[in-house]
Amino acid sequence: MKCLRCGSEVLSETGNSEIIMKCPKCGWAAVTTYMSEIEEDITHYSIVVERGNSAEKEVIRLISGLSGMNFLETRNLLTNGGTMIVDCATVIKKIATDLDMVGVRYHIEPEFPY
Q: Which one, 12 or 90, has the nearer CB to Zn ion?
A: 12
Q: Which one, 26 or 88, has the nearer CB to Zn ion?
A: 26
Is residue 26 part of the contact set for Zn ion (CB under 5 A)? yes
Is residue 1 part of the contact set for Zn ion (CB under 5 A)? no
Q: Which residues does residue 9 pair with via DSSP β-bridges, in sequence order?
A: 2
Query: To the nearest whole angstrom, how small is the minimum distance from the Cβ of residue 24 to Zn ion?
Result: 8
CB 67 within 8 A of CB 84: yes
Q: Which one, 10 or 92, has the nearer CB to Zn ion?
A: 10
CB atoms within 10 A of CB 53: 21
Q: Which one, 25 or 107, has the nearer CB to Zn ion?
A: 25
CB 99 within 8 A of CB 47: yes
* Residues 54-93 within binding reach of Zn ion (CB under 5 A): none
Query: To the nearest whole angstrom, how small is the minimum distance from the Cβ of residue 29 to Zn ion?
Result: 9
* Residues 27-46 within binding reach of Zn ion (CB under 5 A): 28
Q: Cα–Cα distance between 23 and 38 in angstroms, integer?
A: 30
CB 55 within 8 A of CB 75: yes
Tell me phi and psi for residue 98, to 5 degrees. Answer: -65, -40
State the residues that interact with Zn ion by CB under 5 A.
3, 5-6, 8, 23, 25-26, 28
